Amino acid sequence: MRGAFFPSEDLACRLGVYELQVQHKLKEMLGRGMTFYDVGANVGFHSLLGARRIGNQGHVYAFEPLAQNSKRLCELMRVNHVSNFTLIEAAVSNQVGSTEFFSGPSPAQASLSPSGRNSFSVRTTDLDTFASANRWPDLILMDIEGFEGMALQGATAILSSKRRPAWIVEVHNLNCRNECEELFQTTRHQVEVLMPVVPRKGLYPLHLLARPGISSE
């Protein structure tokens, strides 16, 4: 991320040290011309990194339903002169339609959880439907505040395809981790934990890396 401008109050983002373990994997796994899905893109830190790695022949699809975040994401891309991305203003779920979205303690923590504060309606999509009508993903990064398992349920065609992408999924508790690992293992993915570069208290949240093994088709 050297040389990128990040107009945010988040010091870790401004210093370029936000989720270093994820940054390292994106750098390792993304190459020129690839397609990157950033699901739960927030304000776009990983979308920007992905766009820089894949170049003009590649494309980033950034999924972010919260208007406050999507506005900042588009501004981030504008000030860094990035054009190889598309903002998808929708929540990723297990079906296409609409649902109630709930604000959290911060814009980064808004989610489908009814334990949130104010609620509002957002458009939803599932990844299978989206991928069938757009560029097929090579790598999917997902952080949607505990609803990753639900999103994976809407990606069964992607998970079982001969052109299966790799996944980096943030899980927020043991139940979410077990649900995601079971879905990945059922579709013959090899799963490992990305350990944080900087030690911290507590196990969760943590990131799972799922790579396609032998095709299930």
Radius of gyration of the chain (CA): 16
List CB contacts of 177: < 8 A, sequence separation 6 or more: 171, 204, 206, 208
> Tens digits of per-residue pLDDT, 156-170?
999 999 999 999 999
Q: How many CB atoms within 10 Å of residue 111?
A: 21
CA count, 13 A, side-chain hemisphere, 78: 8
pLDDT on residue 108? 56
**pLDDT of 200 over the 80 cut:** no
Cα separation of 145 and 113, whole Å? 8
pLDDT on residue 58? 98
> Tens digits of per-residue pLDDT, 168-188?
999 999 999 999 999 999 999
| Of 158 and 118, more confident | 158
Report if residue 122 sits inside a domain.
no
Helix 45-54 / helix 20-29 crossing angle, nearest 10 deg: 20
**What is the mean predicted confidence (pLDDT) over 194-215?**
86
Give the CA distances from residue 138 to residues 28, 98, 187, 198, 213, in Å, rounded to whole numbers and listed in that order.
13, 27, 16, 28, 14
Q: Tokens 């790799």 map to which residue? A: 166
Check: CB of residue 176 under 8 Å from CB of residue 207: no
**What is the mean predicted confidence (pLDDT) over 194-204?**
84
**pLDDT of 211 over the 90 cut:** yes
Cα separation of 182 and 84, whole Å? 34
pLDDT on residue 217? 43
Q: Tokens 């790695």 map to which residue? A: 53
Report if residue 173 sits inside a domain.
yes
Report if residue 37 sits inside a domain.
yes
Report if residue 23 sits inside a domain.
yes
Q: Give me the count of residues in the chain.
A: 217
Q: Which helix (H) or strand (E) holds 67?
A: helix 67-79
Q: What is the CATH number of the domain that holds 156?
A: 3.40.50.150
Domain count within the chain:
1
pLDDT on residue 78? 95
The closest of 212, 55, 83, 216 to 138, measured between CA atoms, is 212
Domain extent for 186: 11-60+77-89+136-212
> Tens digits of per-residue pLDDT, 51-110?
999 999 999 999 999 988 999 999 999 999 999 999 999 999 999 998 887 666 555 555
Report if residue 112 sits inside a domain.
no
Report if residue 109 sits inside a domain.
no
In our burial notation (b when 16+ CB lie closer than 10 A, e otherwise), range 89-102 reads ebbbbbeeeeeebb
Report if residue 121 sits inside a domain.
no
216 pLDDT tier (thresholds 50, 70, 90) = very low
**pLDDT of 113 over the 70 cut:** no
> Tens digits of per-residue pLDDT, 129-150?
999 999 999 999 999 988 899 9
Report if residue 144 sits inside a domain.
yes
pLDDT on residue 107? 54
